[in-house]
Amino acid sequence: MSAASPFPQRGLEWFRALTGQEGFAAAGPRTVRVADAPLGGETARYIAVVPDAMNRFPRARQGEVGVDEAWALARQVRATMAADAGLRARPIVAIVDVTSQAYGRREELLGIHLAGAAAVDAYASARLSGHPVIALLVGKAVSGAFLCHGYQANRILALDSPEVLVHAMSKQAAARVTRRTVAEVEQLGERIVPMAYDVHSFASLGLVHKLIGGINADAPTASDLERVRVELCAAIADTRNGSRDLARRLTSGAARAVRGASIEVRRRLAEQWQGP
């Protein structure tokens, strides 16, 4: 079916490659895939959001995170937490290839903002209760969809590939909203690093734990998969040795260089917090 699909399926290809499964859940939409697979001597739970041309929400058929998808993410992550209660918390790997959130009037009426918040809450709660949560960016990681699926991870890994794009809004929409052409938006990204779309620029903000280069991102070979598994294991080990919050994102050399204002705001707030 993937060959016939008009939509990008990279997330699904990586999900299949890493788990050897299709990952349909017993209940819930066909767009949220979940499977357990061995990883470094333990079992990891992999989760992906994929396109479905038959989705009951027409605005969420091309890999968007819609109302059903976001609630399903919340449900699957919380089910993982419940299954491991009192046991060693298994790693959760979010395979990220999400076009955007779903834009539609039904989505708004039915509260896509709450659905998204529930997904964010579930991932953050899993992280806080000791599950190593790793995001693996294999395609698009755009805006609200990335917030819902991946951005709360302890560590973000990304394939070094031109199709891995991270942004707050699609180029076309950003161009319309800021009254620029798409070419102007692209040029601006070359000058102003947080406005860029490519994964190198994103990594330069200090938000990526590791960029994984030299991988065939469209059709991973066995050795590609092995390398990615090694990096996943390293990120999991690093997570278990670190804190459960997101503080790491502000301490890397890259963050100190580019996110100086984020750090300075916190430093001065702490100074003034207790008052005279």
CB atoms within 10 A of CB 270: 9
Cβ 164 to other proteins shortest distance, Å: 13
Output the smallest distance, CB 130 to other proteins, in A.
14
Distances (CA, A) of 7 to 60, 92, 225: 12, 26, 23
Q: Which is nearer to other proteins, 152 or 161 (CB)?
A: 152
In this complex, which beta carbon is closest to other proteins, that of residue 20 or of residue 58? 58
Least CB distance to other proteins at residue 142 (A):
10
Q: What is the dihedral of CA 18, 19, 21, 27, to 10 degrees?
A: -120
* Residues 117, 113: Cα–Cα separation, whole Å: 6
Cα(269)–Cα(251) distance, rounded to whole angstroms?
A: 17
Residue closer to other proteins, measured from CB, 43 or 178: 178
Classify the C-alpha dihedral 171-158-192-101 as positive or negative.
positive
Nearer residue to other proteins within complex by CB, 203 or 233: 203
Shortest Cβ 192–other proteins spacing (Å): 6
